[in-house]
Amino acid sequence: MRLEGRGQIDRDHPVRFTFDGRVIDAFRGDTVASALMANDIRVVGRSFKYHRPRGLYSAGSDEPNALVTTGRGRDALPNVRATMQEVWEGLDVTSQNRWPSLTRDVGAINDLFSPFLAAGFYYKTFMWPRAFWERVYEPLIRRAAGLGRLSGEAARDASEKAFAHCDVLVIGSGPAGLMAALTAARAGADVILAEEDSHMGGRLLSETDTIGGLSGPQWVGSVLNELTALPNVRVMERTTVTGAYDQGTYGALERVSLHRPPGRAPRECFWRIAATRTILAAGALERGVAFPGNDRPGVMLASALRTYVNRWGVAPGQSAVVWGNTDTAHRTARDLASAGIHVAAVIDARADATTTGDWPFYPGGEVLSTQGRLGLKGLQVRHGRREFTVWTDCLAVSGGWNPSVHLASHIGSRPVWRDDIQAFVAGPEPVPGMDVAGAANGIFDTAGCLADGLRAGNVAVQAIGLETHSPDLPDAEATPYAITPLWEVEGKGRAWLDLQNDVTTKDVRLAAQENFRSPEHMKRYTTQGMSPDQGKGSNVTALAVLAAATGATVAATGTTTYRPPFVPVTISAMGAGAKGKGFAPERFTPAHAAAVELGAPMIEAGLWYRPSFFPLSGERVWRESCDREVRMVRESVGVTEVSTLGKIEVMGPDAGTFLDVVYTNTMSSLAVGKVRYGLMLREDGHVMDDGTVARLSEDRFVLTTTTAAAAEVMRHLDFVAQGLRPGLNLRTVSVTEQWAQFAVAGPRSEALVRSILDDPAAGVLPFMGCTEASISGTGVRVFRISFSGEKGYEIAIPSDRGEALWRLLLAHARMLGGGPYGLEALNVLRIEKGFLTHAEMNGRSTAFDLGLQGMMSAKKDFIGKALAARPGLLGETREQLVGLRPVGAARMLTAGAYLFGEGAAATREAQQGFTTSVAWSPTLDTFLGLAFLVNGRARHGERLRMVDHMRNVEALVEVGPPCAFDPDGGRMRG
User: Could you say which residues in the range 675-694 bind another protein, by CB under 8 A?
Assistant: 683-684
Is residue 565 at the binding interface for another protein, with CB under 8 A as the rule? no
Q: Helix axis angle, 519-526 relative to 539-550, nearest 10°?
A: 110
Cβ distance to another protein smaller for residue 131 or 858: 858
Stretch binding another protein (CB under 8 A), from 1-9, 85-93, 393-401, 581-589: 581-589
Cβ distance to another protein smaller for residue 265 or 910: 265
Q: Closest separation between CB of residue 524 and another protein, Å?
A: 26
Phi, psi of 97 (to 5 degrees): 55, 45
Stretch binding another protein (CB under 8 A), from 13-21, 127-135, 770-778, 913-921: 770-778
Burial class, 17, CB count within 10 angstroms (exposed 0-12 / middle 13-18 / buried 19+): buried
Cβ distance to another protein smaller for residue 115 or 428: 428
- The continuous run of DSSP H or E covering 650 comes out as strand 646-651
740: three-class secondary structure by DSSP? strand
Is residue 411 at the binding interface for another protein, with CB under 8 A as the rule? yes
Give the Cβ contact number of residue 569 at 10 Å. 18
Residue 897 one-letter amino acid: A
Cβ distance to another protein smaller for residue 272 or 469: 272
User: Could you say which residues in the range 805-834 bind another protein, by CB under 8 A?
Assistant: 805, 808
Cβ distance to another protein smaller for residue 340 or 779: 779
Nearest by Cα to 17 from 86, 95, 90, 94: 90
User: Could you say which residues in the range 645-674 bind another protein, by CB under 8 A?
Assistant: 649, 651-653
Q: Closest separation between CB of residue 179 and another protein, Å?
A: 24
Nearest by Cα to 959 from 870, 872, 886: 886
Position among 768, 797, 826, 930 found at the interface with another protein (CB under 8 A): 797
Q: Closest separation between CB of residue 886 and another protein, Å?
A: 40
User: Could you say which residues in the range 337-366 bind another protein, by CB under 8 A?
Assistant: none
Question: What residues does 919 pair with on adjacent strands?
Answer: 928
Question: Do the Cβ atoms of 614 and 714 come closer than 8 Å?
Answer: no
User: Could you say which residues in the range 853-872 bind another protein, by CB under 8 A?
Assistant: 861, 865-867, 870
Is residue 575 at the binding interface for another protein, with CB under 8 A as the rule? no
Is residue 723 at the binding interface for another protein, with CB under 8 A as the rule? yes
Stretch binding another protein (CB under 8 A), from 507-515, 541-549, 711-719, 760-768: 711-719
Q: Closest separation between CB of residue 693 and another protein, Å?
A: 16
Is residue 973 at the binding interface for another protein, with CB under 8 A as the rule? no
Residue 119 one-letter amino acid: A
Task: Work out the angle at residue 661's Cα, subtended by the Cα atoms of residues 655 and 662, and round it to the nearest 5 degrees.
Answer: 90
Stretch binding another protein (CB under 8 A), from 3-11, 252-260, 475-483, 514-522: 252-260
Pairing between strand 22-28 and 45-46? unpaired
Position among 475, 758, 772, 876 found at the interface with another protein (CB under 8 A): 758
Cβ distance to another protein smaller for residue 683 or 942: 683
Task: Work out the angle at residue 857's Cα, subtended by the Cα atoms of residues 852 and 863, and round it to the nearest 5 degrees.
Answer: 90
Q: What single DSSP character describes residue 135?
A: I
Pairing between strand 913-921 and 22-28? unpaired
Dihedral (CA of 842, 843, 846, 849) sign: negative
Task: Work out the angle at residue 953's Cα, subtended by the Cα atoms of residues 949 and 954, and round it to the nearest 5 degrees.
Answer: 100
Question: Do the Cβ atoms of 787 and 690 come closer than 8 Å?
Answer: no
Stretch binding another protein (CB under 8 A), from 67-75, 567-575, 794-802, 845-853: 794-802
Give the Cβ contact number of residue 869 at 10 Å. 14
Cβ distance to another protein smaller for residue 120 or 652: 652
Is residue 265 at the binding interface for another protein, with CB under 8 A as the rule? yes
Cβ distance to another protein smaller for residue 569 or 810: 810
Position among 587, 784, 830, 833 found at the interface with another protein (CB under 8 A): 587
Cβ distance to another protein smaller for residue 38 or 868: 868
Q: Where are the beta strands (DSSP E) in 816-973?
A: 819-820, 879-886, 898-901, 913-921, 926-934, 943-948, 953-960
Q: Closest separation between CB of residue 542 and another protein, Å?
A: 29
Cβ distance to another protein smaller for residue 590 or 936: 590
Pairing between strand 778-783 and 239-245? unpaired
Is residue 801 at the binding interface for another protein, with CB under 8 A as the rule? yes
The alpha carbon torsion through 94, 98, 100, 103 (nearest 10 deg) reads -90
User: Could you say which residues in the range 174-193 bind another protein, by CB under 8 A?
Assistant: 190
DSSP string for residues in 457-505: HHHHHHHTT----PPPPPP---PPP------B---SS-BEEETTTTEEH
d(CA 503, CA 498): 5
Q: Closest separation between CB of residue 823 and another protein, Å?
A: 17
Nearest by Cα to 943 from 959, 954, 932: 959
Q: Closest separation between CB of residue 860 and another protein, Å?
A: 8
Position among 729, 938, 949, 951 found at the interface with another protein (CB under 8 A): 729
Is residue 246 at the binding interface for another protein, with CB under 8 A as the rule? yes
Position among 376, 554, 775, 785 found at the interface with another protein (CB under 8 A): 775
Q: Closest separation between CB of residue 162 and another protein, Å?
A: 5
Cβ distance to another protein smaller for residue 91 or 439: 91
d(CA 244, CA 565): 9
Cβ distance to another protein smaller for residue 724 or 956: 724
The stretches of 276-327 forming alpha helices (DSSP H) are 302-312
Nearest by Cα to 458 from 100, 795, 168, 856: 168
Cβ distance to another protein smaller for residue 530 or 735: 735
User: Could you say which residues in the range 271-330 bind another protein, by CB under 8 A?
Assistant: 272, 274
User: Could you say which residues in the range 492-511 bind another protein, by CB under 8 A?
Assistant: none
Is residue 432 at the binding interface for another protein, with CB under 8 A as the rule? yes
Phi, psi of 631 (to 5 degrees): -60, -40
Alpha carbon distances (Å) from 184 to 241, 247, 275? 19, 20, 13
Cβ distance to another protein smaller for residue 150 or 811: 811
Is residue 136 at the binding interface for another protein, with CB under 8 A as the rule? no
User: Could you say which residues in the range 737-756 bind another protein, by CB under 8 A?
Assistant: 737-739, 756
Position among 338, 515, 669, 722 found at the interface with another protein (CB under 8 A): 722
User: Could you say which residues in the range 829-848 bind another protein, by CB under 8 A?
Assistant: none
Stretch binding another protein (CB under 8 A), from 43-51, 204-212, 714-722, 911-919: 714-722
The alpha carbon torsion through 100, 106, 107, 112 (nearest 10 deg) reads 160
Region at 798 (left for phi over 0; alpha for psi -120 to 50; beta for the rest): beta
Q: Which residues contact 831 (CB under 8 A, 6 or more apart)?
A: 917, 918, 919, 921, 928, 929, 930, 964
Question: What residues does 46 pair with on adjacent strands?
Answer: 53
Count residues binding another protein (CB under 8 A).
Answer: 79
Cβ distance to another protein smaller for residue 184 or 918: 184
Residue 333 one-letter amino acid: A
Is residue 804 at the binding interface for another protein, with CB under 8 A as the rule? yes
Position among 21, 23, 229, 247 found at the interface with another protein (CB under 8 A): 247
Position among 70, 589, 915, 923 found at the interface with another protein (CB under 8 A): 589
Is residue 708 at the binding interface for another protein, with CB under 8 A as the rule? no
Position among 121, 122, 137, 245 found at the interface with another protein (CB under 8 A): 245
Q: Closest separation between CB of residue 865 and another protein, Å?
A: 7
d(CA 175, CA 47): 35
Question: What residues does 348 pair with on adjacent strands?
Answer: 324, 363
